[in-house]
Amino acid sequence: MQPKRIWIIVTDGEKCRFLESTKRNEDPHAVLPDLETSNPPTREQGTDKPGRTFESVGNRRSAYEPPVDWHQQGKRDFAREVAGVLKEKTHENAFDRLIIVAPPEMLGNLRPVLSEETKEKIVGEVNKDYTRFTPREIKQQLSQSYDV
């Protein structure tokens, strides 16, 4: 019987690591290059000054706030990019099980954009930020709850 290929996705909205764990006594190893995005704070995106608008009555003017928080939009776009990679690898049968480790905000951005085939392979979600952990530390944290 072939060992189960468990992928561990560790992401935070700006960086994503794709790790694979096939043997219990070995540390997970990277199976794809890390995905990274440059997502500066909203104040550094867009124009220097918000636009101005006139009041409907009188000649008063006020600042116009953009309808989008560009920093949050960047995180949602990154979640779609990660979901696209996972969908492609699901179709290639690259893994049997999937564990997603991400802060709650990223999990919320990622869940709706995952394909149904990918969702079927998810065996666990951890709402923590492990992006700065080594593969060994990630395995130690996950081994308490999952068979990795």
pLDDT at 72: 83
| Degrees, nearest 5: CA angle 31-148-128 | 80
Mean pLDDT within 141-147: 82
- 3-class DSSP assignment, residue 115: coil
Instruction: Give the angle subtended at the CA of 34 by the CAs of 14 and 97, to the nearest 5°.
Output: 100
> What total number of domains does the chain contain?
1
Structure-token pair, residue 114? 């995952």
pLDDT in tens, 17-33: 999 988 777 888 889 88
| Model pLDDT, residue 45 | 60
Structure tokens at 107: 């999990």
pLDDT 10s digits, 84-142: 999 999 999 999 999 999 999 999 999 999 999 999 999 999 999 998 999 999 998 88
d(CA 117, CA 84): 12
Residue 89 three-state SS: helix
CATH number of the domain enclosing 92:
3.30.420.60
Per the structure, the complete domain to which residue 22 belongs is given by 6-39+69-143
Q: Looking at the domain assignment, is residue 129 inside a domain?
A: yes
Over residues 33-90, the pLDDT tens digits come to 888 887 666 666 665 566 666 666 666 666 666 666 777 888 899 999 999 999 999 9
The predicted model scores a pTM of: 0.80
Query: Parallel, antiparallel, or unpaired for β 97-101 and 122-126?
Result: parallel
Asked if 138 contacts 101 with a C-beta cutoff of 8 angstroms, the reply is yes
